[in-house]
Structure 1
């Protein structure tokens, strides 16, 4: 986002502006934040994060012990069932005001900002408005789930697919039927549909289920061991490898 200025430009030619950092803070365990993200968080003037309407913010909870006292905080309240664009528009304007005042803004993002992360929507708006924006990668939920399950995602010439659970049944069947390995994300209310497709394809014995990876409430089990009426939260994932284990 930063552009090199002509050598002849004086320091007074342009107003001082701050930088917005999209910080990948990992999947849930506080220690999985990177050293770079931690250092930026310590120096930031303003800290922004997504939050539900009732004020709960998993991102804020993850780094609670890392946030210095006295920082300005912006809760970006996501209203379920309502269009998100106006919410991100308003958040970008508020963050932009702090940047125009020369402040540094750290925007928290669970997992990695550019792996299905909400920060990307702020990134686009802030960058388009001419602000300085940088992204700090983080440990994604997919990597954390693989580590907790002891299930390498892919090896050799394997093709790995990331498949969102909300896809319709036919698309799910097509994607899963033509891959070596898959990470199925965003299960939630789509869990039963996804599980049915996995059963139809004969992949149940190659599937591992995990929810809330790295948190105290983490649960992981072979998919086949879940009861028939099992449900899954949004923060859950199924990993599948056709060889059972990637190293085989």
Structure 2
């Protein structure tokens, strides 16, 4: 393992979609910092830890850290700072330190807060690439997400109807991540443009993965956090 803190991408959820390089690093890690959240019942939930267990990574190396799911990011930043401090101490004590993230750790991943802090502190870091959810979604639906000279734009769940219409009129394929942040806008857009092709996905790469391209259904559906849409 390289002498640096490693950020390992776990892919969209299916343990089989992790890279061989990531798997080798995880097996050698002494400490693996793994994000978790709280369920509505107050239980600790971690999709990342579930992936690691499926990969038979030693539970003794997994160290969960809670990330509050709130628009007030102050609590989350405190959690990231705590991870940075603990990871730095472990690294300086000669441990092989890994911090994991679902999808790709460099693609709309909140883990970048920790990564940037390490860089600012002068601590060596490396990142191992993973499969982002929209690529896995395209495979699930048998889509060529883009082909030939087509262009692609990825939006982070913050989008206005006029902006979306402009991209589509230019012939671009649009990927919208985290649909729960723009539910009303997307549902209204579908109602106004029913002839457009909408590919909707939930929990891609997990046992709960779901796919639909029925615009009538999508107008009324509640979009969870782990959802995305590809519009062509």
TM-score interval for Structure 1 and Structure 2 normalised by the shorter chain = 0.7 to 0.9
Distance 1:222 1:154 in 2: 17
Q: Compared with structure 1, are the counterparts of its residues 93 and 64 closer, same or farther at alpha carbon in structure 2 (3 Å cutoff)?
A: same
Give the structure 2 partner of residue 153 of structure 1.
145
Give the structure 1 partner of residue 98 of structure 2.
106
Contact 1:25 1:138 in 2 (8 A): yes
Give the structure 2 partner of residue 31 of structure 1.
16
What runs of 5+ residues in structure 1 fail to find an aligned partner? 3-17, 242-248
Q: Which runs of 4+ in 1 moved over 6 A?
A: none
Distance 2:100 2:229 in 1: 25
Deviation readout 1:181-234 (Å, 9 max, x if unpaired): 11111102522321322443x365411111111211111111414164211111
> Of 55, 71, 75, which aligns to 2:44?
55
Contact 2:187 2:219 in 1 (8 A): no
TM-score (norm 1): 0.82
Deviation readout 1:60-87 (Å, 9 max, x if unpaired): 1122122433633322211122323222
Shift of 1:124: 0.8
TM-score (norm 2): 0.88
Deviation readout 1:117-174 (Å, 9 max, x if unpaired): 1222211111221222110000110100010011111112211010122334444444
Q: CA RMSD of the aligned region, Å?
A: 2.1
What runs of 5+ residues in structure 2 fail to find an aligned partner? none
Q: Which has the higher helix share?
A: 2
Q: Compared with structure 1, are the counterparts of its residues 42 and 227 closer, same or farther at alpha carbon in structure 2 (3 Å cutoff)?
A: closer
Paired residue total: 224
